[in-house]
């Protein structure tokens, strides 16, 4: 009688799958073996595999695993097994396996860490097969300890016993360690502090005394201080957030880490869905509404923002910073990097780069192979919206339900991610950031090398943005040349089409949609700067069906940092002279120069940007004339909006193809409200209401002409939760089926998936 061979693919390495199969085989009295290889898990059992055994593999798989396929066939061998064994891993050329993202410490490990009777009491690297580091430590596949950054740490006898004990949850746990044999923590700057918990206790005291610390975590460093110490926060902001322009400090919010859910409720509203997001195994930063008049978290953590970015401890080391309970209500935990550079991961690099900010360094000796910043999510009703997709989510794949050739999509310039495809999956990289310096490009290159190796991908199609000067575009063209990829397989993709196609890919949409893509900038096919777009879009092609009327973008990119420039541009276009004079009075002589640039069209390209319209309105009503971080004016405009206001301002529409949406009537009505003494809060709300109603009006026009009722809302502007809510509810009430970003960000972090989708459709269609 022949044996049975079972092939399982998916996330089945580093998640306790082989021990699970072993124990299941013992339960059913089966003889044979299982092993990891470069494709997944391979099993051979003597004779026929029982339906119950196969059924339990599907039903009771480890919690961190995700089975994609199970293939059952007859094996060439038969008989001869004396029991069931886990064999050594094998490498198979050209095959790839899915790697688990880094996941938060499980409750069992945290209990052990805090249990005085446990041998891992107060050990900051406690983990098991159900939790701990994965992507950040994996150097190669198959996933085994020698191919991780845990390789230098030889397990002690007790850890070895756990590793080989089928009844132990650390059975074949590759990062298994303890205080005797594993990584250690120490406090640089205070050599007398000792190691592990002694170093952590010393760090606590420094934080209590108002110091800033650099803390090495799972995927990189954090800069930390007490979130209730206004002086420490101000000091951190002055040192980390100082902008080049005028030496100003950026008001960009800091994230905070809080010991538990109950602590969060003291200063933030937490819905059941938000609580679920906070407790997910990814442990992302979740954007939560501040409670009115809360005094617990210093206002300088997130000034001018109605939300706080909050996360729970996701490693034992982080949990021990709050031990014993009550040590801190919250700690600022912001990315450990210099402005516009990637998060720091190396000890020596951290001391060199972060010493001007941090006085002390809580270090450890487990190497971080792949840097992964904290992920950020927002919850809308029951839907989780990713703002930044990184730790905990990458390298989870996005199923495409189609076997594709391998594509490399280079992504956008800002908030960059790239995408590669393998088989039926898309792999979107972790958040890289803005590609504006050498360090960011090096991070980009190292991540591409790693993901190509991990997934055994050799892309033969390249996709890039339409803009020729983006560093991502330049890199893509160089990559194609170096790898001999012909020009016919190097595909430029329009930015806003990529936004829409990305949503189509993650939701499996095949037919044309009405694509609403609102953001700050993206080069259009006519050479102008787009950003307020309505497309009739498929995965391959699109038609521009409507857009905001063009206005001048005075100074080009400079207008994105000085909203008053866009205010002047929109006021000039609307012939609203009163407010125009007011802004000129505020800005002085430089406003005369900008006015002249707008009128003469000097260094003032045309733009249809919705993001810049938000900036203009924020400046006109006196919210903000200059920003210190991206989208600050729009964020503050949303933050002050009166949620009870129902009135709208009008837009104008041209009977043309594409339809041109004129914001001049809105600007004039806004100015009239200002002259009448209407509050900023009500004007901000009316503006949001107006954009939502305009979107509905245009969508109805396009549905009538095209017959399409599926609509996609995407682009960075839809990170605005108020606008998203108003627009989606209005469209759904009108009978549209609304699709938005969920698995990838709506900002430019989602562009690469759309680029890959469009490129494949075009190459496929041309074959």
| Residues 600 and 551 sit within 8 Å (Cβ to Cβ) | no
CA proximity to 376, closest of 433, 435, 320: 433
Q: Tell me how far apart the alpha carbons of residues 395 and 52 are, in angstroms, rounded to a whole number.
A: 32
pLDDT of residue 539: 97
Q: Pairing state of beta strands 383-388 and 376-380?
A: antiparallel
Per-residue pLDDT reduced to its tens digit, 326-347 = 889 999 999 999 878 999 999 9
Give the C-alpha separation, 57 to 88, whole Å.
21
Taking alpha carbons only, the member of 449, 494, 501, 442 closest to residue 473 is 494
Average pLDDT score over residue span 8-22: 88
Q: For the chain, how many residues are written? A: 767
* Cβ atoms of 33 and 86 closer than 8 Å: yes
pLDDT of amino acid 80: 78
- pLDDT tens, residue by residue, 115-147: 999 999 999 999 999 999 999 999 988 888 999
Q: Is 304 exposed, middle or buried (0-12, 13-18, 19+ CB in 10 A)?
A: middle
Mean pLDDT of 228-244: 85
Fold of 377-507+748-766: Nucleotidyltransferase; domain 5 (3.30.420)
Please tell me the distance from the alpha carbon of residue 212 to that of residue 394, in angstroms, as a whole number: 29
pLDDT tens for each residue of 378-418: 999 888 999 999 999 999 999 998 999 999 999 999 999 99
Task: Judge contact between 702 and 710, C-beta under 8 A.
Answer: no
Running DSSP on this structure, what letter comes out for residue 691? H
Residue 488 has pLDDT above 70, yes or no: yes
The answer as to CATH 3.30.420.40 being correct for domain 546-740 is yes
Return the SS3 of 750.
Answer: helix
Task: Give the β-pairing of 542-548 and 532-537.
Answer: antiparallel
Do 718 and 383 meet the contact criterion of CB atoms below 8 Å apart? no
Question: pLDDT-derived band of residue 244, with 50, 70 and 90 as boundaries?
Answer: very low
pLDDT tens for 705-714 read 999 999 999 9
Question: Which element (helix H / strand E) includes 348?
Answer: helix 347-354
What does the domain layout of the chain look like in residue ranges?
Answer: 4-99, 185-364, 377-507+748-766, 546-740
Residue 546 near residue 559 (C-beta atoms within 8 A): no
Chain Cα centroid distance, residue 721: 17
Burial string for 495-510 (b: 16+ CB within 10 Å, else e) reads bbbbbbbbbbbbeebe
Q: Are both 377-507+748-766 and 546-740 of the same fold?
A: yes
Please give the C-alpha separations between residue 704 and each of 544, 654, 697, 733, 737, in angstroms, as whole numbers. 16, 16, 11, 16, 15
- Res. 767 pLDDT band, cuts 50 70 90: low
Residues 103 and 120: their CA atoms lie apart, in Å, by 19
DSSP letter assigned to residue 305: -
Using 50, 70 and 90 to split pLDDT, how confident is the model at 581?
Answer: confident
Identify whether the C-beta of residue 28 lies closer than 8 Å to the C-beta of residue 52: yes
Quick one: pLDDT at residue 401?
87
CA 656 to chain centre: 38
- Cis before 646? omega within 30: no
pLDDT of residue 91: 74
Is pLDDT at 37 greater than 90 in this prediction? no
Contacts of residue 404, defined as CB under 8 A and 6 or more positions apart, other chains included, come to 421, 423, 424, 760
Contacts of 289 (CB under 8 A, 6+ apart): 268, 269, 306, 307
Q: What percent of the chain has pLDDT over 70?
A: 98
Matching residue, tokens 């073996």: 33
Class at the top of the CATH hierarchy for domain 4-99 = alpha beta
Judge contact between 310 and 418, C-beta under 8 A: no
Order of strands across the sheet with 398-399? 398-399, 425-428, 419-422, 407-409, 461-465, 490-493
Which sign does the torsion angle of CA 361, 366, 369, 373 carry? negative
Q: How far is CA 698 from the centre of its chain?
A: 30
Q: Is pLDDT at 492 greater than 90 in this prediction? A: yes
516, burial (CB in 10 Å: exposed 0-12, middle 13-18, buried 19+): buried
What 3-state DSSP class applies to 310? strand
* Cβ–Cβ under 8 Å, residues 99 and 14: yes
For the beta carbon of residue 72, count every other beta carbon within 10 angstroms.
Answer: 13
Average pLDDT over residues 174-184: 97
pLDDT for the residue 247: 57
Are residues 462 and 479 in contact, defined by beta-carbon separation less than 8 angstroms? Answer: yes
Packed helices 721-733 and 632-640: angle between N→C axes, nearest 10 degrees = 70
Q: How far is CA 113 from the centre of its chain?
A: 30
Residue 549 pLDDT: 98
Cα separation values, 174 from 104, 120, 131, 317, 319, Å: 16, 17, 11, 19, 22
**Residue among 98, 100, 101 at smallest CA distance from 39:** 98
Report whether pLDDT(424) > 50. yes
- Judged by DSSP in three states, 105 sits in coil
Q: Give me the mean pLDDT over the 556-570 stretch.
A: 95
Alpha helices in 524-606 (DSSP H): 558-561, 563-574, 577-587, 589-600
CA distances for 533 relative to 387, 546, 559, 630, 720, angstroms: 21, 6, 20, 20, 17
* pLDDT at position 230 over 90: yes
Cα-Cα-Cα-Cα dihedral of 44, 46, 49, 53, to 10°?
-80
Q: Which two tokens stand for residue 360?
A: 């002390």
Average of per-residue pLDDT values in the chain: 94
CATH ID of 185-364, from 1.20.930.40, 3.40.190.10, 1.10.3720.10, 3.90.870.40: 3.90.870.40
pTM: 0.93
């Amino acid at each position: 009688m022949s044996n049975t061979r079972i092939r399982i693919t998916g996330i089945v390495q580093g998640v306790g799958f082989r021990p699970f199969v072993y124990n299941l085989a013992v339960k059913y009295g089966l003889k044979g073996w299982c092993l990891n290889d470069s494709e997944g898990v391979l099993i051979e059992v003597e004779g026929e595999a029982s339906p119950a055994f196969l059924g339990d593999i599907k039903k009771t798989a480890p919690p961190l695993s995700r089975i994609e396929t199970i293939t059952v066939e007859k094996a060439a061998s038969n008989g001869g097994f004396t029991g069931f064994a886990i064999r050594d891993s094998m490498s198979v050329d050209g095959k790839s396996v899915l790697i688990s993202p880094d996941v938060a410490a499980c409750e069992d490990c945290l209990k052990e860490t805090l249990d005085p009777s446990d041998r891992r009491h107060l050990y900051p690297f406690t983990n098991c097969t159900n939790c701990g580091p994965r992507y950040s430590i994996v150097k190669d596949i198959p996933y085994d300890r020698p191919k991780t950054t845990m390789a230098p740490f030889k397990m002690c006898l007790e850890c070895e016993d756990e590793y080989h004990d089928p009844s132990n949850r650390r059975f074949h746990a590759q990062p298994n360690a303890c205080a005797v044999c594993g990584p250690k923590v120490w406090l640089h700057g205070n050599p007398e502090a000792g190691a592990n918990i002694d170093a952590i206790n010393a760090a606590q005291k420094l934080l209590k005394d108002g110091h800033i610390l650099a803390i090495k975590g799972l995927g990189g460093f954090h800069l930390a201080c007490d979130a209730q110490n206004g002086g420490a926060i101000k000091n951190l902001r002055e040192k980390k957030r100082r902008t080049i322009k005028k030496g100003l400090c950026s008001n960009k919010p800091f994230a905070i880490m809080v010991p538990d859910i109950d602590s969060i409720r003291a200063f933030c509203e937490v819905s059941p869905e938000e609580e679920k997001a906070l407790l997910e195994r990814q442990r992302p930063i979740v954007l939560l509404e501040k409670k009115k008049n809360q005094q617990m978290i210093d206002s300088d953590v997130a000034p001018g923002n109605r939300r706080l970015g909050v996360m729970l401890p996701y490693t034992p080391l982080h949990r021990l910073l709050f031990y014993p309970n009550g040590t801190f209500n919250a700690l600022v935990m912001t990315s450990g990097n210099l402005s516009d550079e990637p998060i720091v991961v190396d000890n020596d690099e951290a001391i060199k780069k972060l010493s001007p900010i941090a006085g002390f360094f809580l270090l450890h000796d487990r190497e971080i192979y792949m840097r992964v910043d904290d992920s950020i999510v927002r919850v809308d009703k029951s839907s989780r919206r990713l703002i930044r997709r990184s730790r905990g989510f990458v390298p989870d794949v996005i199923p495409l339900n189609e076997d594709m050739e391998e594509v490399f999509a280079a992504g956008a310039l800002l908030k960059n991610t790239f995408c590669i495809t393998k088989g039926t999956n898309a792999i979107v990289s972790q958040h890289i950031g803005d590609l504006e310096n050498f360090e960011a490009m090096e991070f980009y290159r190292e991540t591409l090398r790693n993901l190509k190796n991990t997934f055994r991908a050799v892309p033969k199609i390249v996709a890039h943005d339409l803009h020729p000067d983006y560093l991502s575009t330049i890199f893509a063209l160089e990559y194609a040349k170096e790898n001999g990829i012909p020009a016919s397989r190097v595909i430029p993709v329009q930015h806003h089409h990529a936004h829409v196609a990305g949503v189509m890919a993650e939701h499996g949409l095949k037919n044309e949609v009405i694509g609403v893509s609102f953001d700050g900038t993206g080069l259009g096919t006519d050479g102008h700067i787009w950003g307020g777009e309505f497309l009739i879009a498929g995965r391959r092609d699109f038609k521009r069906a409507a857009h905001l009327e063009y206005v001048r973008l005075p100074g080009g990119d400079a207008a994105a940092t000085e909203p008053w420039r866009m205010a002047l541009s929109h006021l000039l276009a609307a012939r609203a002279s009163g407010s125009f004079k007011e802004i000129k009075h505020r800005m002085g002589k430089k406003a005369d120069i900008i006015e002249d640039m707008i009128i003469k069209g000097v260094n003032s390209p045309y733009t249809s940007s919705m993001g810049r319209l938000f900036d203009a309105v924020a400046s006109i009503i006196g919210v903000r004339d200059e920003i210190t971080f991206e989208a600050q004016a729009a964020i503050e405009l949303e933050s002050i909006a009166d949620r009870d206001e129902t009135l709208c301002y009008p837009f104008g529409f041209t009977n043309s193809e594409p339809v041109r949406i004129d914001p001049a009537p809105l600007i004039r009505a806004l100015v009239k409200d200002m002259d009448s003494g209407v509050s900023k809060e009500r004007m901000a709300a009316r503006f949001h209401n107006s954009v939502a109603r305009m979107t509905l009006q245009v969508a109805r026009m396009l549905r009538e002409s095209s017959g399409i009722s599926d609509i996609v809302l995407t682009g960075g502007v839809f990170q605005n939760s108020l606008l998203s809510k108003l627009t989606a509810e209005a469209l759904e009430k009108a009978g549209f089926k609304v699709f938005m970003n969920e698995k990838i960000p709506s900002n430019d972090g989602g562009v690469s998936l759309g680029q890959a989708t469009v490129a494949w459709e075009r190459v496929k269609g041309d074959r």
